[in-house]
């Protein structure tokens, strides 16, 4: 018990929030593989991840709504997606060194689970859900303000830039180098936590792939990856 308390205190110091109910933090740090085959062992973090995803989306959405009164719905959605995505969540997880803290099964550990983007990103959402449950919306806002500060600033800085899909399409058209399209490679995950892999295809050749929690996010990442590759070839 003492070791567990020391472990949780260490995590609280990293995230900047002290839980009244330590159990909810422990649940947020527990991957489903940890309890595989023993559903009575303890709870795992998928339900908290679901809640955290909703809380994060709401908080970021409200920030955008209040800060940018003249922005239309489409651009607000695109801006939110540039902040609320697997890459941003993964960045937060790396900063908090969550990989070493997540409780997971031995098989998952052996397969590189502590470095998997999806597992780390899901854990951040679960922690947001846990903070919200334990301390309310104001505490969740404080957590996001601190942990997502650089991500939000970067997104705002690049607000006036064209998105990767637009830049890639304009480049292909200006160079007259063929037909560009996007193809679904795979779709996985539960209904509330889908993960899509999409490829950017030029003249039948895959020039970039992207992974995201939405098809739009995945295709934007694929386009971003393709931009560098296509310019090297032309």
Q: Name the residue ranges covered by the structural domains of the chain.
A: 2-157, 164-233
CATH number of 164-233: 3.30.160.20
pLDDT of amino acid 233: 64
Query: For the chain (length 234 residues), average pLDDT per consecutive 10?
Result: 80 94 95 75 90 97 90 85 92 95 92 93 97 97 96 82 83 87 91 87 92 88 86 63
Report residue 18 CA to chain centroid gap.
23
Average pLDDT, the chain: 89
Helix axes 73-83, 215-233, angle to 10 degrees: 80
Of 196, 166, 160, 185, the C-alpha closest to 86 is 196
Buried b vs exposed e over 50-63: b needs ≥16 C-beta within 10 Å? Answer: bbbbebbeebbbeb
Q: Domain 2-157 belongs to what architecture? A: Orthogonal Bundle (1.10)
pLDDT of amino acid 31: 94
Helices (H), the chain: 2-15, 22-28, 46-67, 73-83, 86-95, 106-110, 117-135, 137-147, 149-157, 164-175, 215-233
Quote the tokens at residue 167.
Answer: 């830049």
Q: Give the model confidence (pLDDT) of 145-165 as tens digits.
A: 999 999 998 888 777 667 788
pLDDT of amino acid 28: 96
The question of whether 53 is a catalytic residue gets the answer yes
Quote the tokens at residue 206.
Answer: 């895959």
Global pTM reads 0.70
pLDDT of amino acid 96: 95
pLDDT of amino acid 39: 52
Distance CA 76, CA 78 (A): 5
Catalytic residue among 53, 91, 134, 163: 53
Catalytic residue among 49, 122, 125, 134: 125
Q: Give the model confidence (pLDDT) of 171-215 as tens digits.
A: 888 888 889 999 999 998 887 778 899 999 999 999 999 998 888
Beta bridge partners of 180: 202
The question of whether 125 is a catalytic residue gets the answer yes
Q: 167, 227 in Cβ contact below 8 A? A: yes
Distance CA 70, CA 55 (A): 24
Give me the count of residues in the chain: 234
Which stretch of DSSP H or E encloses residue 201? Answer: strand 195-202
């Amino acid at each position: 018990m003492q070791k567990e308390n020391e472990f949780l205190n260490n995590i609280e110091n990293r995230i900047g929030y002290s839980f009244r109910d330590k159990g909810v933090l422990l649940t947020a740090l527990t991957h489903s593989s940890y309890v595989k085959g023993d559903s009575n062992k303890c709870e795992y973090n998928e339900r908290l991840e679901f809640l955290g995803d909703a809380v994060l989306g709401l908080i970021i959405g409200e920030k955008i709504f209040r800060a940018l009164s003249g922005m239309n719905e489409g651009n607000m959605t695109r801006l939110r997606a540039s902040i609320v995505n697997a890459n941003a969540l993964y960045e937060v997880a790396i900063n908090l060194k969550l990989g070493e803290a997540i409780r997971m099964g031995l098989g998952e550990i052996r397969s590189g689970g502590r470095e998997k983007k999806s597992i780390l990103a899901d854990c951040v959402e679960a922690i947001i859900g846990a903070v919200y449950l334990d301390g309310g919306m104001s505490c969740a806002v404080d957590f996001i303000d601190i942990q997502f500060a650089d991500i939000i600033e970067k997104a705002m800085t690049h607000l006036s830039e064209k998105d990767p899909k637009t830049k890639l399409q304009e480049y292909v058209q200006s160079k007259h180098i063929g037909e560009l399209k996007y193809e679904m490679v795979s779709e996985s995950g539960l209904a509330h936590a889908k993960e899509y892999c999409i490829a950017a295809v030029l003249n039948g050749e895959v020039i970039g792939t992207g992974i995201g929690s939405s098809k739009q996010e995945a295709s934007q990442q694929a386009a971003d990856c393709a931009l560098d590759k296509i310019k090297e070839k032309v």
